Amino acid sequence: MLGNLFDPNDKLLVHDRLRPHWAQSGAIVFITARTRDSIPKEVLLRWESEKIQWFEQLACKLGKQLPQDRHWSNLLVQFEECHQREFLKHFDRCREMELDKCHGECLLRNNELARIVADSLLHFDKSRYRMGDFVIMPNHFHALVAFCDAESMEKQISSWLHWTATQINRRTGRDGHFWQQEPFDHLVRSVEQYKYLRKYIHENPKKAGLVEGQFIYRRLDE
């Protein structure tokens, strides 16, 4: 395959921000980065409320008392890993469905701008990382990548976003943030999940109702 599957017994690097980011040397990671305007503010605010409600319902079911600090990121760590996975899976699905509605300016629908992102993802392929399948959508991208070491993942993702934002802003005469901070990343845990994510990337443009020329898809021949 592209790289290794996540090994729970191997060394793991974790960065905690709004969500935990796990990195492991050689492991395949699924990355989603979205533009800053890709999800309407009212949807984000609704999700914040729904996340709290999700934990309140679970706590009631388990007979568990919730702490005073009700931000969802603090509540998440109060529950077992199985519940954390269920929570993340549910709201990850909500995010992906919302992204496919193509909110915002969708500047990456412009093939020239999308090519900036695609070229950046491939620039250090086979030297700093191994790039797998990816798709550049109008307001986000998905990619499967395997990094040589855990420490380089966060640095490389930041580099991609900074470089592409600078180039796109220069082409469009804009300034300020182009990407939403803190992209989503997920370490691939099984062969079945890897196959599912490849299929998901391949079918994403069709699900969003895009036609040829409105996206860039790259498939790794293994």
pLDDT in tens, 143-197: 999 998 888 998 999 999 999 999 999 999 999 999 998 899 999 999 999 999 9
Residue 146 is predicted with a pLDDT of 96
- pTM, two decimals, is 0.86
Percent of the chain with pLDDT over 70: 98
Query: For residue 20, is pLDDT > 80?
Result: no
Residue 129 pairs with which residues in a beta bridge? 125, 147
Residue 23 pairs with which residues in a beta bridge? 13
Other C-beta atoms within 10 Å of 24: how many?
24
Residue 107 is predicted with a pLDDT of 97
Query: For residue 16, is pLDDT > 80?
Result: no
SS3 content of the chain, % helix, strand, coil (to 5): 45, 20, 35
Query: For residue 18, is pLDDT > 60?
Result: no
Cβ within 8 Å of residue 57, ≥6 positions away: none
